[in-house]
Structure 1
Amino acid sequence: MDNSKDDSKTVVIAEGDSPHWSIVEAIEGLGGMDRFIDKDDVVFIKTTLNLPNGFPTNCNFEVLNTLIRSCLEMGAKKVLVGSYPYKGITIKTLSDLLGLKDFLERLGAELAYLDNSDYFGKGKIEDDLLKKLKTNSLSTVNVNEKEFLVPKVILNADKFIILNQVKVHPLFKFTSAILNAYSMIPNNYQNINPKKEDEYISNDEYKKDLISNILDVFTIRPPDLIFNDLYYILEGAG
């Protein structure tokens, strides 16, 4: 975990009787949220947004609640929460299903529609408006001769926090914070285009190229603070 006010790095393992108390213990172990959040900061919390097709799938709302309140108590001007969902699912669809927008607004935070899907329900969108939305909301970033589109709201945030729900993963065994950060870019930039498909998969080139992309994206906006939530997966519910 990076300390935003100096160059030191602190790692804390915390446990508690509930997800809330676990993150409270973690924050206290780090020396308090005031080590990371300054007055009038704009904070972006990168989490996971997917259909609830397992447990745990998305971040624990109790943990998210506590984290948002901690940022606001330190005087954060704005707290934004968001991520790109899996391909084919919009943020608005997930918000409507899970009640995310209302939940976050009650806490004083905002849901970041990184995919601009909050505009989709307002009728037909002309091509010019789509291009304008893309230009206004995304920046092109080049890393190691690769081009990625990254939301400006993440690049411009004063503090970037990753709240990662650790769960099992078919390719990497478990979901790490680095893997979580990969979904801060649009789905079409997460895709790997194979060369010769059979050889590509059999030689494990796909995984190598994917890891390379994941690491490159992580360097674009390194987090100021990371929380890896293992509260439920350690109980065998992963």
Structure 2
Amino acid sequence: MKVASIGCTDYNYGQVKEKVVQTISLLGGIEEFVSSGDTVLLKPNLLSPHQPKLGITTHPAVVKAVIELVKDAGGEVKVGESSGGMMINHSLTQQAFKETGIKEVCQDLGVELINFDRVETKIMTSGQGEEIPLPKVLLEADVVISLPKIKTHSLTLFTGAIKNLYGCIPGAKKAEYHKLYPNPRDFAGLVVDLFSLIKPQLTIMDGIVGLEGNGPGTTGDRCEVGTILAGSDLVAVDTVAASYLGYGADEVPITSIANQQDLGTNDLDNIEILGDFKRPEREYKLPSNALLNLLPNWLLGSVFNSFLSSPKIMQEECVQCKRCLHSCPQKVIVEKNDKLKIELDDCIKCLCCQELCPKEAIVVTEHKLVQLIKQVKKFWS
């Protein structure tokens, strides 16, 4: 299986366009994936309303380059997304379109921009029996291309081409699934079910700048990686990208489960990496929960969730936007004495609140066991 990875150091549009073209050329060119007249749905990662410079969302320069590439092949391009979180009075997805720069790109290029929260859906049943509502416009596309951002993720440990597809689920339904699947590995299985239904023909990943540490939102740390990756096997692309950040092949639940279900390969020995990019020698910070991978499953067992990192609201940073209050799947964020508080006894530690907070006001608090593992790991390193 082939994964293309070309070095790209910044978001100067001329460079980005050139590098995207080079990356796809290593896979045979865009014509291998798009035929004239095809309807092509692009799915960027627009987690929440943030400016591109923060490294949280797919950069508009990458989206623009892919739109132009697909148009040159004769494809009819559409861009769609459902951002995380829900608010009573307005759509966070619409706000994200504007803040991330994607709305401007689509307007300039005459491309339809679709809010998945506001379109007709169809219930799809995965091979594992899970029923998932998906936008009809997505299902009717001839070609789907995932345009993710390279980032660590506090719950799933890594978010790339496959996890990006979670934004195809409209509105509050995403929060419901977090409540139904509180265990991180079970949730990863749901994401793989979703992947099996959509099966994008291609992914082009924005790996120029991403997040390390406790991503995927504002509490993650912006980091330079310096590459654009692409491939038709999303499992392989995610495996390669995750390895750049420091993960082993079986340390990311989503790619591990997808590999087990024969949806792609996470075996680095069977992945041919094409291109000039060389992984940076620096060590990237992984999420606090990644340290739990060092413990055997039999030791964690049914108490795994109790060891997960917990969210904490930093009152001095909170601006009372109430995104967390309205978006919490478990409804454990309450307002008391003009302050927001998390009732941790019933918290499922999905960390949706942390990833949606616009002001770094919700931080991750590590379990004492994780702190101990850190100290032992540091001692032996």
For normalisation by structure 2, the TM-score amounts to: 0.49
Determine the structure 2 residue equivalent to 1:165.
Answer: 149
Within the alignment, does 1:58 sit opposite 2:37 as a pair? Answer: no
Within the alignment, does 1:218 sit opposite 2:192 as a pair? Answer: no
- State the shift of 1:145 in Å: 2.6
Residue number among 90, 93, 96 corresponding to 2:95 in the alignment: 93
Residue number among 106, 109, 112 corresponding to 1:107 in the alignment: 109
Residues 192, 209 of structure 1: 8 Å contact kept? no
Q: 1:164 to 1:209 in 2, by over 3 A?
A: same
Determine the structure 2 residue equivalent to 1:4.
Answer: none
Residue number among 58, 77, 80 corresponding to 1:79 in the alignment: 77
Pairs within 5 Å for 1:1-238: 9-17=1-9, 18-49=15-46, 50-52=48-50, 55-76=54-75, 78-88=76-86, 89-98=91-100, 100-116=102-118, 137-143=120-126, 144-190=128-174, 191-193=177-179, 206-233=183-210, 236-237=223-224
How far apart in 1 are the matches of 2:166 and 2:143?
A: 17
Q: 1:71 to 1:95 in 2, by over 3 A?
A: same
State how many pairs are aligned: 201
Q: 1:229 to 1:28 in 2, by over 3 A?
A: same
Residues 4, 27 of structure 2: 8 Å contact kept? yes
Q: 1:188 to 1:73 in 2, by over 3 A?
A: same
AA aligned to 1:150 is: L
Cα RMSD (Å): 2.3
Q: Which has the higher strand share?
A: 2
How far apart in 2 are the matches of 1:13 and 1:99?
A: 25
Q: Which runs of 5+ in 1 are unaligned?
A: 1-8, 117-132, 196-204
Aligned with 2:168: secondary structure? coil
Residue-by-residue CA offset, 1:50-81 (whole Å, 9 max, x unaligned): 221772111111111110001000111x2111
AA aligned to 2:122 is: S
- State the shift of 1:219 in Å: 0.5
Q: 1:141 to 1:29 in 2, by over 3 A?
A: same
Determine the structure 1 residue equivalent to 2:290.
Answer: none
Larger radius of gyration: 2
AA aligned to 1:75 is: G
AA aligned to 2:68 is: R
Determine the structure 1 residue equivalent to 2:261.
Answer: none
